[in-house]
Structures are given as structure tokens and as C-alpha cells.
Amino acid sequence: MSRWVGDRSLIACLRLAAATTGSVVLLIFVFLVFESWSALEALGLRFVTDSSWHPASDPSEGTFNLTPMLVGTLAATAGSMLLATPLALASAVFCNFYAAPRPAQLYRRMIELLAGIPSVVYGFWGLVVLVPLIRQIEPPGASLLAGILVLTIMILPTIALTADSAFGAVPESYLQASAALGLSRTTTLAAVVVPAARSGLFTGVMLGTGRALGETMAVLMVCGNVVQTPASLFDPIRTLTANIALEMAYALGDHRSALFVTGLALMCIVAALVLLTEAAAERWTVEGP
Amino acid sequence: MLLQESSSSAPRKRPAPTGAAFGLRLGLLICLLSMLPSAGCQSPSEDPAGGTVEETVKLVVTGSSTVAPLVSDLAKAFEKKHDNARVDVQTGGSSRGMSDARRGLADIGMVSRSPKEGEDDLRWHPIANDGLAIIVHADNPVGALSSEQVEKIYRGDIESWHSVGGNDAPITVVNKAEGRSTLEIFLGHFGFESADVEADVVIGDNQQGIKTVSGNPDAIAYVSIGTAEFETSEGTPIKLLTLDSVVPSTAAVRDGTYPISRTLHLVTADEPEGWVAAFVDYCRSTEAHPLVEGQYFVPLGG
Amino acid sequence: MSPARRAGNVYARGLGRGKGDGFLSTAVWLAVALVVGAFGWLLFDVVRHGMGGLSLSFLLDGVESSGRAGGIGPILVSTLLILGVCLLASVPFGLATAVLLAEFTDAEGSFGRPVRRSLDVLAGVPSIVFGLFGNALFCIYLGMGFSILSGGLTLACMVLPIFIREAEEGFRAVPDEHRLSAAALGFTRSRTLFSILLPAALPGIFVGLVLGVGRALAETAALIFTSGYVDRMPESLLDSGRSLSIHIYDLSMNVAGGESNAYTTALVLVGMLLAINGTASWLSDRWVRKRWMTH
């Protein structure tokens, strides 16, 4: 009897703890909604219809258009994905199908090291090395391009490592069959390996997108933080995350609340990405490659 | 196969939780979390000690990033004088300083301007005078600008240093982010709106302006004269531009000839008592004047 | 995994070459050269500029003149305290959740599935959002103010999913014979857990711990609004304390002439993180069957 009670209470404790950890995300969501409520109520559609972003704590005095920053965020994310995805895929292909075992292992280690470097160091490096370089081409230097480059180096390891394990998991028999058919390396990769690994590749790309969207400090340091819709790669931009970091400490009233709206929007985008990825992974696993 | 099956079925006989049970857990979690502060946190600074109490007293000061370096220095000196006093200084802009003081999040707020209408619910304690200087990189050949030129540069009507007698290089306009009173004072003096500014770089704290200009030979920014003079004395490659033929300096602020000046304040929600009063009085005392001058601000009545 | 992959490698290297393979090879080698180049540039830069200032006194001394002079002693202490709070809060909850998910519940059941999904979402939440949340809940709502405690608890929420994922892998890597033998001996489930499963899963738990520490150390955005900027030696957990990453940010953005110390601090931080991640991957190669590397 006592043994049974012991087990029961152990499991009850575990479930309580698991429910707690599981509800952290709920708690964050509730808090964001709670804090952003007053701005959502007072401003509503003004987040897209106002003329510009010049916030004030009193909603009647300021203007609250978030779209330039949304565009900035999306441009930086899209740009870095466009650069990082091919590089990361090439890295994974290199490790699995080109390099001899030892260089492949060395390269893999290097990517793992790269994954461990904190974003603030990437930002700092971008600030002292990349920004002055870009300034020589086209002032002011702090720009969308600087942001894209820093984000690219930052998310490359995430995508490369996921793609690497996805390629590693492609069954040996597929490669043998392909070789037996006399297919070239390019054809094997394009027609056999990539389709077989698509779920893992997709996961990697989505994880990278999530990181790029959510990155704050690195982009804050190199992007110039001017609220405007960029007309070229050399224009400075402000991302949604940088906006929070830059103004949060100074914001009061509905201005503060508007920043929580930004946070809420970011969280919803990322949650959607994660759930989409899982749904896709599930479907592809069930169907098989 | 057999192993897997037995392991997966054996430990999993618990009934599924109902929605109500989940809600209960969430409630429990919130209770748990709200117990945390009572366990870990004794209210830090409420003790209205007269100075004889042994335990450490912590004052929280938040607000303007212009005033913060000065108050940090004053705080260190104050801590040296009073062994059991700790003064925490956090920057966050003038409006944050006022709001934190009102809501009791901070004992004292720092504000880098004078009170506006409707702000007399707070007690204002002036501690020093300061001016706003227009700064450029030390290598920039331009040494003086008129108010009109500065306005045109910030509005985007002048885009090259060439137009104001400098190199043929595009001007990088550095502006401050919203909510900073330095921005308000700058705009107030030149009489235009924040929406009119065509900025190339937007910065947060005061120091960031100096940092940006010192790293970019074509940048222009406006910062506190105190901060700028302190930085030039540290060897930072920036220079203060003569504005409308007045050389920006603490001396010019003192005799009132420099056009953009302001008074730095501490604010409290109520008439200060105990340690708060002790610190505010210390900041306003003649004893603090060397420290005020050390940060290149102008002591009051000095 | 690595022997199998090696075999695949050898095999793939023997694949026939056809039209267009030259283009692909060139592209792959070019990309790899680019990545190696960028990484080498960055690391070389940090080491070259950071090495000069590195000394024992830099690690121990207090911060002077906003970080232009002096060392990072108080910042190291604050960083370690924040990490400590983070681990104390996240390990018990994380471990319990991992045990439950791996041993006592159906992974895709009506309890396991929502918990897992919410942890996956939590893993993707941007760190600045954690900062907002921590500021609202811990600093203001719970009245802890800008403090090491607020910062540590915020980081704990952030680190949870990473720790749980690794610890769960650790439990799943324990062979089923262990559970069967324990059941045959008539052990209760609690006893099986504490005397058999927990020790056997320690490697995975440890890898999770190490990766969690790595994530927490690297964090900046979640800390600026929770643990604050104060660079004095902390005296209690309710004091505000500046972490290494915030120090780098502050030196590079706000302090003119702060670059050289920013480089040295970055070198210290990168060194710590590389050591930590190196330990993690060494451990996982050694002990854990398979690791889901998505950090």
C-alpha cells in the first residue's frame, strides 16, 4: 500500500512540474496580452494606418505605424535566409558527400563552434568590422545589408547542423540504388537525397527563420535603427525586436503597451512557424519520403 | 520488439487530465509564483532610517542617461561616506525617471530638463546646469555652424558637408530615439518636429551618440556638453561645434551665453525623508560641486 | 552515428560523375571556403584584439571608467550568480518534466502532447519577448525589480526547453533491460527511477545542463530589462547585476574607447562558451546514443 502511495505521489509531483513547465508559454502569452491590451484597445488598426512611428504615452499625441519595422524585419530575415540556406546546405552536402571523413568531422566541429558564439559577439564584430567596410562603399554603413550579413553568419550553423543530421539519416540503400542506376552525383543529390531529407531540411530552415526573426542585439547594433521602409540594401532599418530593446526602457503608458503588442506579434509569428514545422514534419514522416 | 512493448505500456496507465485539472494546476502555479517574492525579497529601501540603523539601505535611482553618470559618481562618494548605504543607478530616460518615482519603483528619478506644466505633483530638486552641444568627428574640418544650418542638416535639406564648408562627403545624421528629453530640448530649440528629422542612425543612450560620431568621420550628433567635454578630456576623437558664434563650454553655460541649456533635476514623489533626503541634499551640497565639475556640468549657484 | 555516416561518405565518394557535377562541386567548395573564411576572420579578429588585454587582473578587478579601464570581476560574479539562479529554478522542473515525458506518459497522449508542443513553442520564442515577460512578471508584478533574481528566473524559463529535450534523450537512451530487470525484482517505480534510471540517464542530463548554461551565458536581450546594467559587485540576489554579454553590448555601443575591453570580454565569453559546448559535444559523442542538435 505504501509503495503504491509513494508511486502515486511521485507521479503526481512529476505531472505538476510538467504542467508548470508546459504552462510557462501560456503564462508568457497571457502576460503579453494583458500588457498589450490597452494599446490594442486604444489603437487597433492604427498600427498599420498611422502615418509613421512617433509614439507617445498618450495615444492621441503619437503615431504608431509598425509596418516599416515589420518590413525591415521581414527584409532582414528574408535576405539572411536567401544567403544562409544555400551556404548551409552546401556545408551539409560537403560534410556528407564530398569531404573525407576527417576534414568532414573537422568542418562539423567548426560549425558547432560557430553555433555556440553568442549573438552579441556577432553584433559587436559586425559593428566594428562590417559597418565601417560598408560605409566605405555607401554611407552611413549601419544598414539592412549589415544586418543581413550578421544574421547570415548567425543562423548558418543552425540550418547546417540540422541539414547535416537530415542527410546523415538518409538510408544507405537509397545511395546504393542510385549508384546502381548509374546516376551522377548531382542527380543523386537533387532527386534522391534532398527529397528523402526534406523534413529535416524544412525543420532547419524554419528554425533558422525563427532565430533570424527573433534576434535582437546583433541587429540593433548594426542596422542603424531608423524607422523607415528600406529602399535599398544600404538604407538603415529598425526591426521589431530592436524597437522593443531601444524604446522599452523609455516607454510609458500606451507607448509601453504598444511595445508589448510588438512582442505579442513576434511571439505569434514564431509559434505559427514552430507548429507549421511540426505539422509538416509529422505529415512527411507518416507518408514516408 | 517485446522489450519495447512492455516498456511503453507498463508505465503509462495514468488517466488523461481533464481541462479542470489543468486549470487547477495553472492556478497552483500562479500561487507558487506569487509566493516567491515574500520568500526572497524583503522590501529593499522602505526603512525610513535616520542613519543610526545598522542594516544596509538601498536607494534606487532611475532616469535620464545624461544625469546618470553624474549621479553614479555622487552615489559612489555617498556610499563612501555612509557605510550602510547603497545607491543603485539605472538609466532609462527622463520620462521613465518621473514615472518610476511616481509609481514608487524608484526612490528618486533623474530628469534632464525643467518641469513642464502639469508635472508639479513631483518634488523637483535641481542639481546642475548643462547645455546641448552639436558634435562632429575630430577630423572634420567644419568648426562652426549656424542654427539655420543645423536645422537644414537635420531636415535633410543639406546632405553634404561640402555645402557647409567641409569635405565632399555625405552627412550621417545621428538622432535620438523617442522618449529622450535630450531630443525634446533639441527639437524645442530649433522649433521642429521629431517627424521632420531625416536621420541616418538612431541611437538610444547619450553615450551612443559620442560613440557613433567618434567612429564615423562624417557623422553629426547632439549630446550633453558635460558628456562631450568629459569624453574629449578622455581623448575621444570628437569636437564640439561653435553654434551661432558661441563656443559650447561649461563656462558659456555658466554665464548663460550658450543658447541651448537646461537644468538637470532629481525628482521624488513626496517631500524627501530619511536616506532619500540625505542623498538629495548631498547631491545639492557644495561638497558635491567638484564631482559635478568633474563630469563637466555646471554646479548651481557656482 | 558517425561510423554509419563515414561508411556513407566512402560510398558516396565513389559515386559516378556526370554532366553538371563540376558545377556542383565548384559551388560546394566555394561555399565551404566562404564559411571557413568568415569564421576564421571573426575568430582571428576577436583573438588578435582580445588577447592583449587578457590577464588575471582583468578577470578579477572591478569595472572602472564605465569599463574603459579596470577589469570584469563584478561582472563575472554577477554572471555566475544569474546562472546559478537560472539552474536552481530550471533543473528541478526540467528534470521532472523530462522524467514524466520519457518514462511515465505517452509522448503523443493527451498530456504529453500539449506539454511537448508548448515546450517546442517556448524554444522558439524570441529572447526579447522573454525580456518583456520577465520585466512585466518578475521585476514589476512580483516586485523583484532589476535584480539578479529576476534575470536568473527569466533565463530559467528560456533554458527549460533545451534542458528538457536533452534530459529526455538521456532517459530514452537507457536500455529497456534496466526497466525490465527492475520490474522483475519488484522495485516500485519511484525506486526504479531513483536508483536505476536517474544514474543511467545522467550523461544526457548533464549534456542538457551544459547546453542550457551555454544558452544562458550567451543571452543579452532577455537580461537588459530584468537584471539591469549595474556593474558593481553584487551583494545579494536582489541587487542588479550586469552579465558578460550585456557588458560587451554596453562597451561596444555606449562607451567611446571601449572596443579593446569589449574584445577582451568577448574573448573571455567565447572561450567560456566554446569550453562549455566542447564539453557538451564530447560528452554526447561519448555517452549519448543520439543527440538532436538544434541549438
Residue B46's pLDDT band, with cuts at 50, 70 and 90, is very low
Residues of B in contact with A217 (CB under 8 A): none
In total, the C-beta contacts within 8 angstroms joining chain A to chain B are 91
Residues of B in contact with A26 (CB under 8 A): 26
- For residue B28, the tally of other CB atoms under 10 A from its CB is 14
Between the alpha carbon of residue A250 and those of residues A57, A120, A141, B60, B204, the distances in Å are 10, 22, 26, 17, 9
The CA distance from C15 to B297, in Å, is 75
Cβ–Cβ gap C111/B16 under 8 Å:
yes
Cβ–Cβ gap B88/C110 under 8 Å:
no
Q: Does A255 touch chain B (CB under 8 A)?
A: yes
Report the range of poorest mean pLDDT among B27-41, B148-162, B265-279.
B27-41
Residues of C in contact with A208 (CB under 8 A): none
pLDDT > 90? residue B123: yes
Helix (H) or strand (E) holding A80: helix A67-93
Residues of B in contact with A132 (CB under 8 A): 215
List the single residue in C with minimal CA-CA distance to B44: C238
The count of C-alpha atoms lying within 13 angstroms of the C-alpha of B235, restricted to the half-sphere facing its C-beta, is 3
Residues of A in contact with B14 (CB under 8 A): 11, 15
Question: Which residue among B6, B58, B214 places its CB closest to the CB of C256?
Answer: B214
DSSP secondary structure string for all residues of A201-250 = HHHHHHHHHHHHHH--HHHHHHSB---S--SSTTS-B--HHHHHHHHGGG
Residue A209 or C146, more confident: A209
Mean pLDDT for chain C?
A: 84
pLDDT, mean of residues C243-267 = 88
Report the range of poorest mean pLDDT among A123-132, B91-100, C167-176.
B91-100
Q: Does B56 touch chain A (CB under 8 A)?
A: no
pLDDT > 50? residue C260: yes
The CA distance from B280 to B274, in Å, is 10
Beta bridge partners of B89: B61
Strands B238-240 and B57-63 come out as: unpaired
Nearest 5°: phi and psi at A151? -65, -35
Looking at residue B4, its pLDDT comes to: 34
Question: Which residue among A27, A54, A247 places its CB closest to the CB of B195?
Answer: A54
Residues of A in contact with C218 (CB under 8 A): 116-120
B116: CB partners within 8 A, 6+ apart: none
User: Is there a contact between A240 and C128 (Cβ–Cβ < 8 Å)?
Assistant: no
Scanning A113-142 for CB atoms below 8 A from B yields 132, 135, 139-142
Chains touching A by CB (3 or more pairs below 8 Å): B, C
Cβ–Cβ gap A250/B180 under 8 Å:
yes
pLDDT > 70? residue C122: yes
List the single residue in A with minimal CA-CA distance to C93: A17
List the single residue in B with minimal CA-CA distance to C253: B208
pLDDT, mean of residues A24-37 = 93
Residues of C in contact with A125 (CB under 8 A): 42, 45-46
Cell of C137: 512578471
Cβ–Cβ gap B211/C254 under 8 Å:
yes
Name which of A250, A252, A262 to mutate to probe chain B: the one with the most chain B Cβ atoms within 10 A of its Cβ. Answer: A250
Helix (H) or strand (E) holding B203: strand B201-203
State which of A47-51, B239-243, C108-112 shows the largest mean pLDDT. Answer: B239-243
Looking at residue B236, its pLDDT comes to: 86
Question: Which residue among B92, B201, B218 places its CB closest to the CB of A250?
Answer: B92
* Cα dihedral sign, B251-B255-B257-B262: positive
The CA distance from B62 to B117, in Å, is 22
SS3 at position B242? strand
Residue A144's pLDDT band, with cuts at 50, 70 and 90, is very high
Looking at residue C19, its pLDDT comes to: 56
The DSSP letter of residue C127 is: H
pLDDT, mean of residues A141-166 = 93
Mean pLDDT for chain B?
A: 79
In chain A, pLDDT over 70 holds for what percent of residues?
A: 97
The count of C-alpha atoms lying within 13 angstroms of the C-alpha of B93, restricted to the half-sphere facing its C-beta, is 22
Looking at residue C17, its pLDDT comes to: 54
User: Is there a contact between A120 and C268 (Cβ–Cβ < 8 Å)?
Assistant: no
pLDDT, mean of residues C14-31 = 74
Report the range of poorest mean pLDDT among A86-90, B117-121, B222-226, C18-22.
C18-22
Residue A289's pLDDT band, with cuts at 50, 70 and 90, is very low
B281: CB partners within 8 A, 6+ apart: none
Residue C10 or B82, more confident: B82
Cell of C289: 546514443
pLDDT > 50? residue A249: yes
Cis before A55 (ω within 30): no
Q: Does A23 touch chain C (CB under 8 A)?
A: yes
Cβ–Cβ gap C104/B14 under 8 Å:
yes
Question: Which residue among C109, C142, C176 places its CB closest to the CB of B3?
Answer: C176
List the single residue in C with minimal CA-CA distance to A239: C128
DSSP secondary structure string for all residues of A151-204 = HHHHHHHHHHHHHHHHHHTS-HHHHHHHHHTT--HHHIIIIIIHHHTHHHHHHH
Cell 533554458 found at: C159
Looking at residue C12, its pLDDT comes to: 45
The CA distance from A164 to A107, in Å, is 11
Residue B118 or C181, more confident: C181
The CA distance from B113 to B265, in Å, is 7
State which of A75-89, A248-262, B161-175 shows the largest mean pLDDT. Answer: A75-89
pLDDT > 60? residue C109: yes
Cell 549657484 found at: B301
pLDDT > 90? residue B120: no
Looking at residue A3, its pLDDT comes to: 55
Residues of B in contact with A27 (CB under 8 A): 29
pLDDT, mean of residues B101-111 = 89
Report if pTM > 0.90: no
Cβ–Cβ gap B208/C253 under 8 Å:
yes
Cβ–Cβ gap B90/C146 under 8 Å:
yes
Q: Does B167 touch chain A (CB under 8 A)?
A: no
Looking at residue B265, its pLDDT comes to: 93
Beta bridge partners of A183: none
Cβ–Cβ gap A139/B169 under 8 Å:
yes
Scanning A74-103 for CB atoms below 8 A from C yields 86-87, 90-91, 93-94, 96-101
Residue A183's pLDDT band, with cuts at 50, 70 and 90, is confident
